């Protein structure tokens, strides 16, 4: 962000999502955790709260390095740069317990491979170190690498409480389905610099202007948007709607290491139009798509769409695709690169 050629920022985020087991008390709610407690949690991560928005179902925090979302029994933390999100887990688990949630049912930790992994700090110096750290808290966790280990890849660590139906006082009974849940994430690199120019304070006056001029406000129009434009460049936004759904976008616009991430849990029967809208907005040279969905989700069957090879007229070449089945969720991972054609859809 300065004129120094050595300047570098790692846009790729580390993403943590934790679900806690339903309890018998209506008063148990992660949103009861105070702002000062969240600030203490985030101090372990090396980031700060910039902005806050909420509705009846979800709290959303724009952070100095990405975002945090809190709902009744789900917590999501997404942080970029050299942040250390795994360091806050013990403190988060204690706070959740004080607010009625003593049992974790599902945990997901994921990230794309870093451009400069040597710049990261413990416990994020490598995926092996991250797995070792997580294993101390979740002995039955499992780790995966999707994509090409010597090129572009995406790391995942999961924990699912397989014996949750036997836990004392649980609310999940035989034959009762879990809540529908899904997440789509689009991780983009080698962005078009005309598209990225909107996210530089030399060219734009405010975050609201960047949001409207880029077309971000049209991606999911029913979202209440909380956005922030960094100085001298960079952009973050959270969007939440009345259903408790969220979207979040984070942009590192510098040409040598440009990166944009898009994420939402909005349920759709077809994600292709959304993917096309996102990539047409930011114009990447390559991107990764991941879709998580449980069996109750509208997206559970639609994931199969991306398993089909696209036509030769497509603007994108699919370079990798993998599917995984987990105890609670299915996952699709797909990777695309620009093939130089004029059609801007997959």
Residues 125 and 244 in one domain: no
Phi, psi of 217 (to 5 degrees): -65, -10
Could you report the per-residue pLDDT of 282-329, keeping only the tens digit for each?
999 999 999 998 878 877 776 666 655 554 446 788 899 998 888 778
Residues 146 and 187 in one domain: no
Please say if the pLDDT value at position 173 is more than 60. Answer: no
For residues 319 and 131, the model is more confident at 131
Domain endpoint, select from 166, 191, 226: 166
Domain membership of residue 172 (yes or no) is no
Domain membership of residue 252 (yes or no) is yes
Residues 201 and 226 in one domain: yes
Q: Is the Cβ–Cβ distance between 11 and 262 less than 8 Å?
A: no
Residues 157 and 200 in one domain: no
Percent of the chain with pLDDT over 90: 75
Residues 144 and 195 in one domain: no
Domain membership of residue 4 (yes or no) is no
Please say if the pLDDT value at position 164 is more than 80. Answer: no
Could you report the per-residue pLDDT of 247-295, keeping only the tens digit for each?
999 999 999 999 999 999 999 988 989 999 999 999 999 999 999 988 7
Percent of the chain with pLDDT over 70: 88
Residues 25 and 146 in one domain: yes
CATH of residue 86's domain is: 3.60.90.10
Range of the domain at 294: 182-338
Residues 162 and 243 in one domain: no
Catalytic machinery residues:
66, 80, 236, 250
Question: Known binder of ligand: residue 65?
Answer: yes
Q: Is the Cβ–Cβ distance between 115 and 12 less than 8 Å?
A: yes
- For the chain, report the end-to-end CA distance as a whole number of angstroms: 33
The tokens describing 71, both together, are 């709902």
Q: Is the Cβ–Cβ distance between 64 and 104 less than 8 Å?
A: no
Neighbours of 202 (CB within 10 A): 7
Residues 212 and 298 in one domain: yes
**CA dihedral (266, 271, 276, 282) positive or negative:** positive
Residues 62 and 190 in one domain: no
Please say if the pLDDT value at position 162 is more than 80. Answer: no
Domain membership of residue 173 (yes or no) is no
Residues 191 and 148 in one domain: no
Residues 100 and 193 in one domain: no
Could you report the per-residue pLDDT of 48-61, keeping only the tens digit for each?
999 999 999 999 99
Domain membership of residue 1 (yes or no) is no
Question: Known binder of ligand: residue 292?
Answer: no
Domain membership of residue 7 (yes or no) is no
**CA dihedral (326, 330, 333, 334) positive or negative:** positive
Domain membership of residue 176 (yes or no) is no
For residues 293 and 118, the model is more confident at 118
CA distances from 164 to 111, 149, 170, 176 (A): 27, 34, 8, 13
Residues 210 and 328 in one domain: yes
Question: Known binder of ligand: residue 5?
Answer: no
Domain endpoint, select from 135, 166, 197: 166
What does DSSP say about strands 286-293 and 316-325: parallel, antiparallel, or unpaired? Answer: unpaired
Task: Provide the edge-to-edge strand list for the sheet that holds 316-325.
Answer: 224-229, 235-240, 246-252, 259-264, 182-189, 286-293, 330-338, 316-325
Question: Known binder of ligand: residue 301?
Answer: no
Neighbours of 33 (CB within 10 A): 18
State the total domains in the chain. 2
Domain endpoint, select from 166, 193, 214: 166
């Amino acid at each position: 962000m300065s004129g120094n050629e050595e300047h570098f920022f790692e846009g790729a985020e580390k993403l943590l999502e934790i679900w806690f087991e339903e309890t018998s008390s209506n008063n148990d709610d992660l949103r009861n955790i105070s702002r000062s407690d969240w600030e203490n949690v985030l101090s372990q991560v090396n980031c700060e709260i910039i902005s806050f928005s909420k509705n009846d179902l979800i709290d959303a925090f724009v952070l100095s390095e990405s975002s945090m979302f809190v709902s009744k029994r789900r917590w999501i933390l997404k942080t970029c740069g050299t942040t250390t999100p795994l360091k806050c887990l013990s403190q988060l688990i204690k706070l959740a317990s004080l607010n009625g949630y003593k049992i974790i049912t599902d945990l997901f930790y994921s990230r794309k491979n870093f451009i400069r992994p040597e710049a990261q700090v413990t416990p994020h110096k490598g995926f092996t170190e991250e797995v070792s750290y997580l294993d101390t808290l979740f002995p039955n966790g499992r780790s995966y690498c999707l994509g090409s280990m010597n090129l572009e890849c995406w790391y995942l660590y999961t924990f699912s409480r397989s014996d949750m139906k036997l836990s004392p006082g649980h609310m999940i009974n035989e034959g009762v389905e879990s809540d529908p849940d899904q997440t789509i994430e689009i991780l983009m690199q080698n962005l078009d610099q005309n598209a990225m120019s909107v996210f530089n304070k030399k060219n734009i006056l405010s975050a609201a202007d960047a949001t409207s001029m880029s077309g971000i406000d049209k991606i999911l129009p029913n979202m209440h948007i909380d956005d922030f434009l960094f100085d001298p460049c960079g952009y973050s936004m959270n969007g939440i709607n009345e259903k408790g759904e969220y979207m979040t976008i984070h942009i590192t616009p510098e040409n040598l290491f440009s990166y944009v991430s898009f994420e939402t849990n909005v349920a759709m029967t077809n994600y292709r139009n959304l993917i096309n809208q996102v990539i047409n907005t930011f114009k990447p040279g390559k991107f990764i798509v991941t879709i998580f969905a449980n069996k109750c989700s509208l997206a559970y069957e639609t994931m199969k769409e991306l398993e089909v090879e696209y036509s030769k007229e497509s603007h994108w070449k699919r370079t990798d695709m993998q599917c995984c089945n987990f105890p609670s969720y299915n996952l699709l991972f797909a990777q695309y690169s620009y093939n130089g054609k004029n059609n801007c859809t997959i």
